[in-house]
Amino acid sequence: MEGNLIVELQTFLTVYGPWLASGLLLLFVSIIFLEGTSSANSRDLPQVRRRHRGPKIYPIVGSHLEITRNLDQLYDWLTSYHRADPTNTVRLKRALSTSYVISTSNPQNVQHILKTNFANYPKGETMLEGLRPLLGEGIFNADGEGWKSQRKVASYEFSTKSVRDFIIELVHAETYNRLLPLLAKVHAEGSVVDIQDLLMRFGFDNICLLGFGVDMGCLDSSLPEIEFAYAFDEATRLTFQRVLLPSFLYPFLSFLAFFGIGNTSKLDKLVKVVDRFAQSVIKKRRKELKLKRDNEKSQVSEQELASKFARGDSDLLSRFIQYDEDAGHGSSKDAAAAMSDKYLRDIIVSFVLAGRDTSSVALTWFFWLLAQHPEVEKKIVEEISSIRRGRKESSQEAEGYTYDELREMHYVQAAITESMRIYPPVPTDSKTALADDYLPDGTFARQGDRISFNIYAMGRQESLWGEDCLEFKPERFLQDGKFVQESPFKYPVFQAGPRICLGKEMAYTQMKYVVAAILSSPYRFQPLPKASPRAELSITLKMKDGLMSTVRRIEGM
């Protein structure tokens, strides 16, 4: 018993130690106050309509002892509680906190917090403050009017045909100029490669070209280490650790960071690298766009302009700047003032975070599942081959795929969607209750409680997907051979309601393109034999230790 407790405490300190060690004095001073406050507040709670199964909640440390016991299998451990509860809702408590975390995998509850009572469930200041060092006030870290204004601009830009065409162009170039030649090289050398690392590099190159108009070259054949990419990775990891801490520690940790102490200090240094890169690109892009406008006024030829702008002005940063200037040239001075360099930095960094990790993580799990299910791969290849045969004879062997061809890949989309059901790129998300409320299943949510919807657990729920919910079956999303999407409240992989993901179609376009390109090539990933990969504790469902693989070649292709 004593030995187990020591192991649990060691695990706890491994995860939280670098952050909490520096704040230990403040932590103990706060214990007496918070525990007393918690006891007093508990007497004021209204009658809870129903109680939920869940991990034991201890005084002071809340659910954290139980959580640290199960860190290596956290998502599956929580899922077991969700499946055991009659309404699939679990109540947890953070250490040194008077509020609860309500984790639900009930579609009715999800619809309530994401749509029906949307106004009562913003991200909340605690979450915003935790993410602010990296994301600033960007669209994924904003509430209220700040979120609405960014959403309006982003929604307009993502809906344009030119952005869609630009995405196809970027993915085509990265796939055929870098990814496939790299697979050929790995096969020829007989070497081993981390699929997750390749796809993360692929995603980073693509999203930086789309977001900034800058080619990072992460997927060059030498697989170089890029300072901005490394800083972004590490900053994301430390940011996730930060949001797990009690928010009252943030000011004290920032104070210690001033003296170079603790992980907050490391995070600050990494964010400075991100900021320097972003600001240099913004400054350069503003200058280029001004030159372009001046040249247009001077009626410079299109060919001369093309030599100055290899990628034109199709990237999101250029679009936001132009949108801002167009608005500012009209009657609204506020619109022009809003898009400062800091504003642009925040919104673009947010899109890089969302667009890079999610698709790459989803594809990693997809290719691992595909290696276990050759029958699914066969059906995908048949669908792709059928589409290519439908082309004019002169273009049947042409590289790449058009947007219309990608739309016809119903089985491919069903397979990717099924993969994300079992392994969602973002396993959980949460909001904060602004006011007391009852969820549809009768759970009482008190003002200040975190309401988490567990996407990972939802995909493993027999009540939603049947007894075979753990099986990989793309046919779940097909009807008469056509892809059919489930309710976003049953399948909230791309969020739902007013905050539904703007990049959903972009993500599907990229993923379907990569899958089609690889499976119409002679190369296949062959993951090394090992036990089922485990998920890393992070913002996204990365594979812990990656997915090591060889590359085999199919003769005759």
Q: How far is residue 166's CA from residue 210's CA, in Å, rounded to a whole number?
A: 8
Q: What mean pLDDT comes out for the span 315-342?
A: 66
3-state secondary structure of 192: coil
Residue 361 has pLDDT above 90, yes or no: yes
Beta strand extents in 245-403 (DSSP E only): none
pLDDT band at 161 (very low <50, low <70, confident <90, very high): confident
DSSP letter at 176?
Answer: I
- Position 212 scores a pLDDT of 87
**Burial degree of 251 (CB within 10 A; 0-12, 13-18, 19+):** exposed
C-alpha gyration radius of the chain: 25
The dihedral of CA 187, 191, 196, 198: what is its sign? negative
Residue 411, token pair as written in the block: 């089985």
Chain mean position to CA 362: 10
At a CB cut-off of 8 Å and minimum separation 6, what does 126 contact?
247, 432, 450
According to the annotation, is 218 in a ligand binding site?
no
The DSSP string of 427-462 is -EEEEE-SS-EE-TTS-EE-TT-EEEEEHHHHTT-H
- Position 424 scores a pLDDT of 98
The dihedral of CA 244, 249, 255, 260: what is its sign? negative
- Position 116 scores a pLDDT of 98
The dihedral of CA 136, 138, 143, 148: what is its sign? positive
Q: What mean pLDDT comes out for the span 361-388?
A: 97
pLDDT per residue over 175-223, tens digit each? 999 999 999 999 999 999 999 999 999 999 999 999 888 999 999 999 9
> Lowest-pLDDT range, 31-40, 200-209, 302-311, 363-372?
31-40
**Is residue 87 one of the residues assigned to a domain?**
no
Q: Judge contact between 27 and 59, C-beta under 8 A.
A: no
**Is residue 202 one of the residues assigned to a domain?**
yes
Distance between the two ends of the chain, CA-based, in angstroms? 60
Residue 244, token pair as written in the block: 């797990």
Q: 281: domain CATH number?
A: 1.10.630.10
- Position 17 scores a pLDDT of 55
Entry pTM: 0.86
Q: Judge contact between 19 and 263, C-beta under 8 A.
A: yes
**Mean pLDDT, rounded, of the chain:** 85
Q: What mean pLDDT comes out for the span 267-285?
A: 93
Q: What mean pLDDT comes out for the span 25-37?
A: 39
- Beta strands 548-553 and 523-527 are antiparallel
Q: How far is residue 556's CA from residue 370's CA, in Å, rounded to a whole number?
A: 21
- The parent domain of residue 363 ranges over 150-553
pLDDT per residue over 416-442, tens digit each? 999 999 999 999 999 999 999 999 999
Helices 341-372 and 195-211 sit at what angle, rounded to 10 degrees?
A: 150
Residue 260 has pLDDT above 90, yes or no: no
pLDDT band at 16 (very low <50, low <70, confident <90, very high): low
3-state secondary structure of 399: coil
**Is residue 405 one of the residues assigned to a domain?**
yes
Q: Judge contact between 53 and 84, C-beta under 8 A.
A: yes
At a CB cut-off of 8 Å and minimum separation 6, what does 552 contact?
187, 523, 524, 526
**Burial degree of 496 (CB within 10 A; 0-12, 13-18, 19+):** buried
Pick the closest to residue 380 from 339, 350, 408, 345 (CA basis). 408
**Is residue 89 one of the residues assigned to a domain?**
no
Residue 47, token pair as written in the block: 């009658």
Residue 226, token pair as written in the block: 């890029």
DSSP letter at 47?
Answer: P
pLDDT per residue over 86-105, tens digit each? 999 999 998 777 889 999 99
Q: How many domains does the chain have?
A: 1
Question: Residue with structure tokens 């998502």?
Answer: 75
Q: How far is residue 197's CA from residue 547's CA, in Å, rounded to a whole number?
A: 8
- Beta strands 100-104 and 450-454 are parallel
Find the length of the chain. 557
Residue 486 has pLDDT above 70, yes or no: yes
Residue 412 has pLDDT above 60, yes or no: yes
Q: How far is residue 550's CA from residue 369's CA, in Å, rounded to a whole number?
A: 16
Q: How far is residue 461's CA from residue 453's CA, in Å, rounded to a whole number?
A: 13
Residue 549 has pLDDT above 50, yes or no: yes
